A = this chain, B = another copy of it.
Amino acid sequence: MHRVKTGIPGMDEILHGGIPERNVVLLSGGPGTGKSIFCQQFLFKGIEEYDEPGILIALEEHPVQIRINMEQFGWDVRKHEKEGKFAIVDAFTSGIGSAAKREKYIVRDPNDEMELIDVMKEAIEEIGAKRVGIDSVTTLYLNKPMMARKTVFLLKKVLAGLGCTALFVSQISVGERGFGGPGVEHAVDGIIKLDLDEIDGELKRSLIVWKMRGTSHSMRRHPFEITNKGIIVHSDKVLKM
C-alpha cells in the first residue's frame, strides 16, 4: 500500500510511515490547537518534499490571509500557486469584491454543496492534486447537524474517485468529548485529535491518532510544539494526563 507522508516532523513515525493513500482523515481539535497549521503544513510539505500537488478549500479565512499565515512559517505558497502545484479554493469570501478578481477558484455559495464539489473537482483535476485539505468541514454543517454524515460521505466519495488523500478539519468546543459528532466520526477513515490542555497552570499541546484504516499506528498521546517553522511532533515522548 502506498502511503502519503505528512512531512510533519515526528508525525510519519507515529503513523508508521504516513497516511494510507486515499484515506479521508478527520483532524479534530478545539480552538487554538493548531489544526489549520497542521493542514497547511501537510499540503506544503507534500509539494516541497514529495512533489505531490495539493489544494486547500478555505471556509474560515480569506485566501489572502491564509497566504500570509503560511508565509510566517516560511511556506512560500505563492510560488507553488504560480507553478500550478497548489491552489486555494475560496469558499470564504463568496466571490465578492477584490477576491472575485484575484482568486481563480471561487465558491459563490458555500451552502451549495454541489457548487463546492464542482469547484473542488475542477481544482483537483487542473492541479493534479494528490492532497486535499478542507478547513473546516464543520462550517459545512454548523447549522444543520443532521446533514453532517451525508456531507462527509459525499465528499469522501468524490475524493476517493479522484484518488486524493484528505484532511478534514473538524472544529470542536473546549471540553467537548468526541471528534465532531457521531455521524462524522464513524464515516471517516482516520481520526487525528489535537489537544490543548491546561495542566497545573500551563497549556500543553498533544495529539493522538484515534484510528487510521489500513495501518497500525502509535497508540500513544504525543506532545507537540508549534515553532516558527511549523509543527514538530515528539514521537518519542508520551503525555500522560
| Chain A interfacial positions (CB closer than 8 Å to B) | 1, 30-32, 60, 62, 65, 69, 72, 136, 138-139, 142-143, 146, 149, 157, 160, 171-175, 177-179, 181-183, 185-187, 191, 196, 198, 200-204, 208, 210-211, 213-214, 216, 219-221, 226, 228, 238-241
Q: How far is the CA of A175 from the CA of B176 in the complex (A)?
A: 10
Counted per complex, copies of this chain come to 6
A-side binding surface: helix, strand, loop or mixed? loop
Q: Among A142, A201, A210, A228, find the residue whose CB has the most chain B CB atoms closer than 10 A.
A: A201
**Contact indicator A142/B136 (Cβ below 8 Å):** no
Q: How far is the CA of A146 from the CA of B144 in the complex (A)?
A: 10
**Contact indicator B238/A201 (Cβ below 8 Å):** yes
Instruction: Output the nearest chain B residue to A29 by Cβ-Cβ distance.
Output: B186
Chain B residues positioned under 8 Å from A60 (CB to CB): 186-187
**Contact indicator A186/B219 (Cβ below 8 Å):** no
